[in-house]
Each structure stands twice: as structure tokens, then as C-alpha cells.
Chain A
Amino acid sequence: MGSIWEYANPKKFIATTDRLLPWVSALALVALVGGLIWGFFFTPDDYKQGSTVKIIYLHVPSALMAINAWMMMLVASLIWIVRRHHVSALAARAAAPIGAVMTLIALITGAIWGQPMWGTWWEWDPRLTSFLILFLFYLGYMALWAAIENDDTAADLTSILCLVGSVFAILSRYAVNFWNQGLHQGSSVMRAGAMMGDTEERVSNVYAVPLFVCIAGFILLFIALVFLRTQTEIRARRMRALLARERMN
């Protein structure tokens, strides 16, 4: 076993992910189906929110992945800037649409949840607003990738945009916090005190356990999709190179 840098070799990356992909996808499927069925049908209704509470099994994991996908893109962009491994640039490119979709899912499920609970589909609440801004960042990132023809230039520019964008995303998060007080509750899933057994202020275990299964399912799904999409990108690029060589002869 060597270091992780071996996977900078596209061939090695494809070989390894080919072996991992069925397992990861199967596990993701099991966790998602299991977690969602468990969550939707085998947990009691909340005494205040009724059955609407169950949208949490989609809302929280997708919101989590929306942020984590951007983090992954940030790390991949840094690796590209520092070590110039093409696989990492392609992985960042592959992750962006997934992250954007996750953000959209979080926003839509949030609206569906907010309608009965807060009586409104949309509110200019800091959390909601910063997710909308995050979605705009995803759009800009993907648009820049799509707009530039030269692959290396596109990788360079988008990775720098990702770095700058991360700083501004965090800035916006705090600016938005300052700008308006919100309806959205704070994090009640993973609070330090809650982990120590203080069950007063957090999601009860009846809901938390299937929720963690769903989160695991979303993470596995994300990994599987990134593997798949990165493979596709590598193969598409290989194909373009072959076609270009064909035309030369």
C-alpha cells in the first residue's frame, strides 16, 4: 500500500473505484432505503409537529451534504493547485452538480416543512438565506467550468474561484446572521452536551438513530456518485484525446 497520491494516476483511480463502486452503491442503497423506511413508517409522530417531522430524514442529510460537498471541492481544488493531479480537479468538477442538487433538496424540503410549521414557504432567515447563497455559488462554479474550453485553464480558474468563494461563503454566512434573526432552530442533532447524555435539548433517540442511518446513506450516495462521475470525466477526456489523435493521422 502506498500513499493516497497513487490515486492521482487515473488508471489506478479507475481500477480501485471500479472495485469499490458496487460495494459503496449497495451500502448506500441499503442505508437509504432502510433509513427512510424506518424513519417514515416506524417512528412515532411528534407530539407537536405530527407526521411532518419525518421530512427531517431528507432535509438534514441533504443540508449536511450540501456543505460537505463544497468542502470536498475545496480540498480537491487545493490539491489541484498544489500538486496538479488531474483526477482531483475532475473530482471537484464531478462533485459540484451533486452538491448543487443537495442544496436544492435541502431548500425544497425545508420549504415543504416550513409551510405547515412556520406558515410560510420562504422566510429571509439566516440559515435559509445562506443556503440560497451557497446554491448561487454552486451555479457560478459550474457555469465557469462549462464556459472555458481548455481543461487545464478551467481547472485552474475554478479552483481559485472555489478558494475565494469559500471565504466569501463564510463571510456571507456571518453577514446574513447579523442582518436578520431567524426562525430556523440551531443544530439539535449533534450538540456537544447532547452527546454526553443530556437529552433535554436534542432530537430524541427514536428519531436520531434512523436519522444517522439516513446521513450515512447520503454520505455513501455522495461518494458513489463522485466516483462514478469522476470516472466518467476521466473516460470522456480520454476519449477526446483519442479522437484528437485520430484526426491528426
Chain B
Amino acid sequence: MIALLTRDLRLAVRAGGGFGLGLAFFLIVVVLVPFGVGPESGLLSKIAPGVLWLGALLACLLSLDRILALDWEDGSLDLLATAPLPMEAIVSIKALAHWITTGLPLVLAAPVFGLLLNLPDAGYVPLVISLLIGTPALSVIGTFGAALTVGLKRGGLLLSLLVLPLYVPTLIFGAEMARRAIEGMEATTPLLMLAGITCGTIALLPFASAAVLRVNLR
């Protein structure tokens, strides 16, 4: 398992793209927002947590098809399927690798990008916490979507159509937590709900992803 994880991580870093691309995309989204809504700092600081969450979500989405597509094309996914490792473990590792290469950098970069959007001081810690807790769910759900569309030639658009509705609860609770914390309201309820979604998806969704992948490899 660890060998697979290090292999995926190494591939992601060395093949280029995976690591930097998500971050660059996140940066561009954050830069484009003020052009769209105007440079007024009050407005920006109001929408900052939502924009940061959306940017992270879209950056995650962008890199989803890389989770499985490359391994599918060169046949290493077939090899992995015949390996003694159960399919559930393989998809979990894939999701973890995706999170380490995409989710974690986003979490770490979010405070810096928060500066650009004039995020209120009270927002930094809650935002980072909510992203830290929420992004693993994004990776796990995304792996399910990637497994669904792995056999398709032009699956990219379909992948977004399938995955984005599944992201709704995570986005709502994540952004809500940051927003409530900024406004000085109680934020533990959305935080707990977010943690619940993440734990639930990590525990259950790999089974669905593995089932789907088995069908696709048939």
C-alpha cells in the first residue's frame, strides 16, 4: 500500500501538472473574482470564504480525471486489479494521493489567497480548519466520479456533471462554517457535520468506487 502511495506521489510530482496546476488554477480563480465583482474591499471580504471554498473545489475537480486515467491508459490499473491488494484499498490510496497532491497544497495556500480577497482576521483559522476537514471528502467523492467515467474517451465534462452535485453538502457545510466563524456565530454544528460527511465518505464511498472500477475493468 505504501509502495503504491509513494509511486503515485512520485508520479504526480515528476510528471508535472498535478501539483502546480491545481494551485495555479486556484490562484487564477481568486484573481479573477475581483475583476468580476469589483475591487470593493468590503464586498470582497464578505464573499472571501465562499470564493476560497469554490476555488478549492474547482481546483480539485480539475485534477480528478488524472487520478485514474493515466493508469487506465497504460494498463497499470489492470495490473493493480490482479494484485493481492483489494480494489477498495487501491481506490482509497488513489484518493489519498490525490488529496496530498491537490487538497493539502490548497489548504496551505488558502490563507495567502485569503489576503488577496481581504479575508477578515477572524476567518483565517476557521477557513483553514474547514478546508483541512472538508477537502478529503472532495478527493474521495472525486475518486468515485473518476472511477465512474474512467472508461470513457471524453469523460471530463461528464465527470464534472456527475461530481458537482455530490459536492453540494460538503461545500455548504464548509463555507458555512467559515462564514459563521467570521460573523462570530457558533460554528461547531457545521464543523461537526462537515467532519461527519468526510468520515462517512471515507468509510463508505471506496466500496462504491471499487465496485464501479471493477465493472469498468470487466
Which positions in A face B, CB cutoff 8 Å? Answer: 133, 136-137, 139-140, 143-144, 147-148, 153, 156-157, 160-161, 163-165, 168, 171-172, 174-176, 178-179
Contacts and interface: CB of A to CB of B under 8 A. Distances in A.
B161 A143 contact: yes
Contacts of A160: 148, 208, 211-212, 215
Interface in B171-218: 172-173, 176, 189-190, 193, 197, 205, 208, 211-212, 215-216, 218
A175 B152 CA distance: 32
Contacts of A163: 208
Contacts of B176: 178-179
A164 B205 contact: yes
B161 A139 contact: yes
B183 to A, nearest CB: 14
A156 to B, nearest CB: 4
B105 interface: no
B172 A165 contact: no
23 contacts: A133-B165, A136-B164, A136-B165, A140-B158, A144-B149, A144-B158, A148-B151, A153-B151, A156-B212, A157-B215, A160-B148, A160-B212, A161-B148, A164-B208, A165-B165, A168-B165, A168-B169, A171-B169, A171-B197, A172-B165, A172-B169, A175-B168, A178-B172
A157 B216 contact: yes
Contacts of A168: 165-166, 168-169
List the 5 closest pairs (A to B, CB-CB), nearest first: A175-B169, A175-B172, A156-B215, A136-B165, A171-B169
B152 A148 contact: yes
Contacts, number: 74
Contact of B148 (A139, A144, A172): A144
A148 B149 CA distance: 9
A140 B149 CA distance: 12
Contacts of A147: 149, 152, 155, 158
Please tell me the size bucket of the interface on B: 20 to 34
A164 B211 CA distance: 12
Nearest to A174: B169
Contacts of A175: 168-169, 172-173, 193
B144 interface: yes
A206 B164 CA distance: 43
Contact of B172 (A140, A148, A157, A179): A179
A164 B158 contact: no
A137 B165 contact: yes
B104 interface: no
A89 to B, nearest CB: 13
A164 B193 contact: no
A62 to B, nearest CB: 20
A178 B196 CA distance: 15
Which of B158, B161, B168 neighbours the largest number of chain A CB atoms within 10 Å of its CB? Answer: B168
Nearest to A168: B166
B128 interface: no
A174 B193 CA distance: 10
Contact of A157 (B148, B164, B197, B205): B148
Given A144-B148, A148-B151, A161-B148, 8 more contacts: A147-B155, A153-B218, A160-B148, A164-B205, A168-B168, A171-B169, A175-B169, A178-B176
Contacts of B211: 160
Contacts of A165: 165-166
A133 B168 contact: yes
B208 A176 contact: no
Nearest to B197: A171
B54 interface: no
B132 interface: no
A164 B142 CA distance: 13
A69 B156 CA distance: 28
Given A144-B158, A153-B151, A153-B218, A164 B172 contact: no
Contacts of B100: none
Nearest to A153: B215
Given A133-B165, A147-B158, A164-B144, A178 B193 contact: yes
Given A147-B152, A148-B152, A161-B148, A176 B158 contact: no
